[in-house]
Amino acid sequence: FNLSNGFTSFDFRDTLGLIMKDIYANIKQTLQSGNESSLEVKDSFIRSTESSNNSIFIEQVMRITTRSLQEKAKTQLVTTENTSTFLFEIKPYITNPTFQSKIYDKEQRIGYFLNFALQKQIDEPIPQITRWDIDDKREPIVVRIHSDTPEAVLKSLKEGILYWNRVLGRNILIIGKPFNSNEKQLDRTIHVFWIPWDSAGYARAGFQADPITGEIFRGQVFMTSSWYKTTQDEFKLLLSSNNLNSQPKSVQCALDQSQLLSPEILNITDNTLIEKISLDTIRTVLAHEMGHVLGLRHNFAGSSTTGASDIDFSKQKNNYLQGTEQDFAASATTVMDYTLGVETAMDGAFILNHILPYDKAATDWGYLNQNIAIQKYQYCSDEHIMLARENQKKIYGCERFDKYKNIILGNIDTIIGDENHKAMRVFGNILNSVNRGLSHYSVPQKFEVLLNSIT
């Protein structure tokens, strides 16, 4: 650390806390050797410092150098630089006497992010799960939503947060007052940011945990507006005749090929139902990201292990899209799966009044130290897919965005859906490009040219 330049070395860890042979061996070697991976700081300066709440806050601007092999450069080592701003907090380390570390589930029935810790007289790194301290004597975890969040989505966001109170069986999480961007985050808080980014297509979560015990003490969720806006656009922009007629002729011609669009979407004209689908989707997505903040990993086996039969779920999906009021089934056993558009919305409607079984089992084991009846092969995450691909294999029932309990039916439906939705995605990309004023699509072109230009 340099008083003028700030941190001259910045520890960098890219592991997801996985139990895989090669990754675990690398973690063990790094921890035992004392070596660290670090970002290369070419230049930096301190913009501001502040002392408050027994902490020192340092805002530092860094010019970071990275090197990578790029095939486009004929497999040459390419050096790139970028400027980033970091906020460091330095505070005393105080052991939490009430927190007990917990070793990961060796049977891999459930999945948590892991913290690999070294202890004296023990050669092997200890794979601890990351989790919050929810001891009765501790205060609740306060979840604060950014003050710029639109009023229209606040209720659904809060419902996605408080879903986990019902899963855990008591009020571990409470909704606090909104926060502003210039506020510093305190321990035992989770900040939910609303990012106005309509084309993002994803959300993200993160947390800070004790490197010795695995206790999580802060969390962040970054919700992008795309989960609300894109869902609205799929139903409104592509179906509105006014929008079609207002576009250039080349685009209007392409968009007018309504027979190629998804029948599920074409059948929906009720704005109230469109709004409900959007808000149900947001509820699921935030519950998913909150699961990450609680320490839970993805579980892509959720759809293949659901209790709902494919026939019943298919009927209920039609009822949902028609706006029929009824108690819908869930498409997966957990919000930690990746599901498709309509399925994601239906899961959001489901968790409003119900608890998903995998979520319950995972928190019963991880947080409440209870024995669980869940069997093996009910959990399958990123590392399993990675390992399968390395060996040129495929794990049926453990795929991102797969659907249905019947694996064969799910794959057939996905293939058909991909073909039916291909045109819609192309037209949607064209329309979004025109709306953003991209000249590449704003001039008349042959349909074949437009089609081939979309990747």
DSSP string for 405-430? SSHHHHHHHHHHHHHHHHHHHHHHHH
- The residue that leads in pLDDT, 435 or 32, is 32
DSSP-assigned letter for residue 329: P
pLDDT of residue 448: 53
- pLDDT confidence bin for 182, thresholds 50/70/90: confident
Contact 162, 174 (CB under 8 A): no
| Rounded CA separation 81/373 (Å) | 51
Section 221-245 average pLDDT: 61
* Helix locations, 223-300, DSSP H: 226-236, 241-246, 249-255, 263-266, 271-293
Confidence of residue 15 (pLDDT cuts 50, 70, 90): low
Burial class of residue 79 in the structure, from the number of CB atoms within 10 Å of its CB (0-12 exposed, 13-18 middle, 19+ buried)? exposed
Q: What's the pLDDT band for 248 if we cut at 50, 70, 90?
A: very low
Task: Identify the weakest region by mean pLDDT among 28-32, 191-195, 300-304, 398-402.
Answer: 28-32
For the cut 90, the answer to whether the pLDDT of residue 144 exceeds it is yes
Answer yes or no: is pLDDT of 420 > 70.
no
Among the listed ranges 54-63, 90-99, 214-223, 335-344, which one has the minimum average pLDDT value? Answer: 335-344
Q: Please, which residues have CB within 8 angstroms of residue 435's CB and are 6 or more apart in sequence? A: 237
Of 102, 114, 103, the residue nearest 20 (C-alpha): 114
Q: What is the pLDDT of residue 454?
A: 47
Element of type H or E holding 353: none
Average pLDDT in the 217-232 region? 85
Looking at residue 193, its pLDDT comes to 96
pLDDT over threshold 90, residue 158: yes
What integer pLDDT is reported at residue 200 of this predicted model? 78
Residue 443 has what pLDDT? 44
Mean predicted confidence (pLDDT) in 229-248? 46
pLDDT score at 191: 97
Neighbour order of strands in the sheet with 216-224: 173-175, 141-145, 189-195, 216-224, 204-209
Of 89, 100, 41, 33, nearest in space to 66 by CA: 41
> How far apart are the C-alpha atoms of 144 and 154, rounded to whole Å?
11
For residue 202, what pLDDT is reported?
A: 83
Q: What is the DSSP letter of 153?
A: H
Tell me the percentage of the chain whose pLDDT exceeds 70: 75
Range picked from 106-110, 294-298, 380-384, 435-439 for highest mean pLDDT:
294-298
Q: Is the pLDDT of residue 262 over 90?
A: no
Q: Of the given ranges (42-46, 128-132, 343-347, 404-408), which has the lowest mean pLDDT?
A: 404-408
Reported as a pLDDT band with limits 50, 70 and 90, residue 390 is confident
**Which residues, in sequence order, are bridge partners of residue 442?**
none
Taking Cα atoms as reference points, which of 164, 173, 232, 239 lies closest to residue 198? 232
Comparing 98-102, 142-146, 235-239, 270-274, the range with the smallest average pLDDT is 235-239
**Least confident among 3-17, 280-294, 416-430:** 416-430
Most confident of 135-139, 172-176, 333-337: 172-176
pLDDT at 406 over 80: no
Most confident of 84-88, 202-206, 286-290: 286-290
CA-based nearest residue to 333, from 358, 312, 352, 310: 358
Q: Pick from 161, 184, 185, 157: which is nearest to 173 by CA?
A: 161
Q: How far apart are CA 334 and CA 273, in angstroms?
A: 24
- Please tell me the pTM assigned to this model: 0.81
Q: How confident is the model at residue 103, as a pLDDT?
A: 92
Mean pLDDT, residues 146-174: 96
Whether pLDDT at 162 is above 90: yes
Neighbour tally for 421: CB within 10 Å: 18
Task: Dump pLDDT digits (tens) for 321-355.
Answer: 877 766 778 888 999 999 877 888 889 999 999 99
